Amino acid sequence: MIRFFLYLIIFWIVYEIVKRVIRFLTSPSTEQNQNRVHTQDTRRNKTEYKNVEDADFTEIKSEDNKKKDN
């Protein structure tokens, strides 16, 4: 029974190694990956809102910080 589990663990480790090697060999080059990610980011960041204004923010301080400042 122990021998079965050892074979199972060895088989799993070999399977994971082979799977990673195949992914590495079949993946496109890093330059192509960078270009693909860049084009996806630019598409995601494009907005067509024309009536958007910048908001003014005021910092809200807690009472402890107000006491320290005074």
Would you list the DSSP string of 3-61?
HHHHHHHHHHHHHHHHHHHHHHHHSPPHHHHHHHHHHHHHHHH----SS--PPP--PPP
Please say whether the beta carbons of 48 and 40 come within 8 A.
no
The count of domains in the chain is 1
Q: Which of 18, 33, 22 is nearest to 10 (CA)?
A: 18
Task: Read off the pTM.
Answer: 0.40
Is 60 contained in some domain?
Answer: no
Is 5 contained in some domain?
Answer: yes
Is 10 contained in some domain?
Answer: yes
Q: What angle do CA 17, 22, 28 make, to 5 degrees?
A: 135
- Tens of pLDDT, residue by residue over 3-32, are 999 999 999 999 999 999 999 998 876 555
pLDDT at 63: 76
